[in-house]
Amino acid sequence: MRKKVLAIYTGGTIGMEKEYTSGSLYPLDFEHILDKIPEIALLDCEVDIHSFDRPLDSSDIGPDEWKKFAHCIEENYHLYDGFLILHGTDTMSYSASALSFMLFGLKKPVIFTGSQLPVGDLRTDAKENLITSLYYACLYENGEAVIQEVAIYFEYKLFRANRTLKYSAENFDAYKSPNYPLLGSSGVNLQINKENLWRTASKDFFADLHLSTKVFFWRVLPGVSLQNLKNILVLTNTKILLLQVYGTGTLSGAKDTLTSLEKIRNSGIEIIVLSQCISGKICFGKYENSNLFNHLGAISAGDMTLESAFVKTLHLLDNPRYKEESFSDLFSKNLKGEKSP
């Protein structure tokens, strides 16, 4: 039986057409995508397209749009075998990571993809990304979906969504998963690394649309004092500070650094510590200048990406679903395969 896939078009380069006389890009009516990629008709699946009212640049996509994506999947979950989300590349890792936390009991593929060049461009990467993403979105064995999580497919690689980051604005190979291996890859044959796939213990599917915005991000820089940070956090009604530090968890050992962070913690604000390094993880106590985080009762983000740690925080903070557990305990858990032990 042919599988049914719902392709959700949000906007981005993949849905643009180039006007060659002027060189300008303009939005394509995505309902007519088959005219640009007739090979889709050869796939052993039925593809329905859902487009939002107005195509969005990915820089305009945030929590409100993530709720719409999750709600659309929830409404159509039992009507389709898989879901494909066509998205601009700049914030795709944020959106895909967010859905990984918002969708519970997921036992069907939710594949994000996009392109660096528009679908109408002569050298576009959109066709391969779109066609192979559809293959993964309708890949079943023995009546069960092979992919049962939110993933990103880009340039011959299938990634766990909440392990990804965009690292290149120029290369077709634009995404990396620095701390987790590939879920699959595309060559002459489609390869699936089944030992790397996520499986949920939840039975019933639903979408939890809770997202808080009381989160502030600060990147530590040499010579930049933290003295005024507490005032900013109080004014913005912040409950969580995402603090991105050096290496495995170090920052300046100056006395005013500890004093500033103590004032922040004493005001009731939780501190999550992330690394500025793409690869590796936070390890409190490895160096003397990271011992203060143990003193402060800060939370380690381990080897999570900034993108994943940020949206995980938005989802967990003040979420009534988790009122029986502290935020610190919840964040430290591996909920959707987003971090290593």
The runs of H, that is alpha helices, within the chain are 33-36, 63-76, 92-102, 126-137, 229-235, 255-266, 291-296, 306-316, 327-332
> 52: number of CA atoms within 13 Å, CB side?
22
Q: How far is CA 276 from the centre of its chain?
A: 18
Could you tell me which of 121, 124, 131, 120 has the C-alpha nearest to residue 153? 131
E-strand spans in 142-239? 144-145, 150-154, 157-160, 165-166, 175-176, 184-186, 190-192, 206-207, 215-219
- The strand pair at 140-141 and 144-145 is best described as antiparallel
Tokens 């993403």 belong to 133
**Greatest Cα-to-Cα distance within the chain, rounded to the nearest angstrom:** 67
- The set of long-range contacts for 166-174, using a CB threshold of 8 Å and a minimum separation of 24, is 166/89, 166/90, 166/92, 166/93, 167/278, 170/116, 171/116, 172/116, 172/125, 174/89, 174/116
Out of 13, 91, 250, 305, the active site residue is 13
DSSP 11: -
**227 phi and psi angles, rounded to 5 deg:** -60, -35
Q: Mark whether 259 is an active-site residue.
A: no
Tokens 């039975």 belong to 203
Give the CA dihedral 211, 165, 184, 121, nearest 10 degrees. 110
Could you tell me which of 282, 283, 274 has the C-alpha nearest to residue 240? 274
Could you tell me which of 31, 336, 6 has the C-alpha nearest to residue 138? 6
The catalytic residue positions are 13
